[in-house]
A = this chain, B = another copy of it.
Amino acid sequence: MGDQRDVRSLTVGVLGGTGDQGHGLAFRFTAAGMAVLIGSRDEGRAVGAADEVNRKVGNRSCAGAHNADIARRADLVIVAVPYAGHADTLRGLTGELAGKIVVDCVNPVGFDERGAYPVAVPEGSAAQQAAAVLPDSRVVAAFHHVSAVLLADPQVSSVDLDVLVLGDDREATDTVQALAAVIPGMRGIYAGRLRTAGPVEALTANLIAINRRYKAHAGIRVTDV
């Protein structure tokens, strides 16, 4: 399942697909010709978000529904909800997500008058929290540093950055690396076990600081790979 031809045949669900990051990813995978399902706690908002993706892409391969429905129907599920609702959202979907690859791209980051800062997660990282809540799922961490602005902009034809992919299940991380490579310009790079997802998630605070200083939409590339 690790090569691109196979990964394109998967139905991708995006929990929290009405947020910026979720919308951007749903747009890119729909634009690549994949079947995409946008989930939300509010079915009406999910349908509206899917309509917006279909309008931008010019087809009908994105659909919206309630999170639980999406979790049941999708082959692979991306978790793009705010950190505040992360654990609770997943706790309600343990059955639907059992056996599936669950891609956590949640960034536990807070803001105050001095800017963004990492929020400590009891389990070590949002991805480890997901793995604790979903013991029967194949949790992978990825897509943390992808600018939602660049993702959502149809004028940006190539999203030139690397996606760090972390997890303990080799077939699952291979699949998610292949999924990243579906988006033009993007590479998926294996970057360690799930227990090292914390720094990758928290690095988002640094990228926000970079964006402020340089008026950029910063991402990262891994050199020598």
- What residues of chain A have their CB less than 8 Å away from a CB belonging to chain B? 114-118, 147, 150, 160-161, 164, 166, 189-193, 195-196, 198-203, 205-210, 213-214, 216-225
Nearest B residue to A147 by beta-carbon distance? B224
Whether B200 pairs with A203 at a CB distance below 8 angstroms is yes
Whether A190 pairs with B161 at a CB distance below 8 angstroms is no
Instruction: Determine chain A's interface SS by DSSP, over half rule.
Output: mixed
- What is the copy number of this chain in the assembly? 2
User: Which of A160, A166, A210, A214 has the largest number of chain B CB atoms within 10 A?
Assistant: A210
Instruction: Kindly provide the distance from the CB of A137 to the nearest chain B CB, expressed in whole angstroms.
Output: 20
Chain B contacts for A213, CB-based, 8 A: 190
Task: Out of B115, B160, B164, B207, name the residue touching A206 (CB < 8 Å).
Answer: B164
Instruction: Kindly provide the distance from the CB of A98 to the nearest chain B CB, expressed in whole angstroms.
Output: 25
A150 to B224, CA, bound (A): 11
Task: Out of B116, B193, B223, name the residue touching A221 (CB < 8 Å).
Answer: B223
Instruction: Kindly provide the distance from the CB of A184 to the nearest chain B CB, expressed in whole angstroms.
Output: 14
Nearest B residue to A195 by beta-carbon distance? B117
User: Would you list 15 pairs from A and B whose C-beta atoms are within 8 A, ordered by A residue?
Assistant: A114-B195, A117-B195, A117-B196, A160-B223, A164-B206, A190-B209, A192-B205, A192-B206, A192-B208, A196-B202, A199-B201, A203-B203, A218-B222, A218-B225, A219-B222
Task: Out of B114, B200, B219, name the residue touching A223 (CB < 8 Å).
Answer: B219
Whether A114 pairs with B220 at a CB distance below 8 angstroms is no
Given known contacts A114-B193, A203-B203, A220-B220, A225 and B210 CB-to-CB distance under 8 angstroms = yes
Task: Out of B150, B160, B191, name the residue touching A210 (CB < 8 Å).
Answer: B191
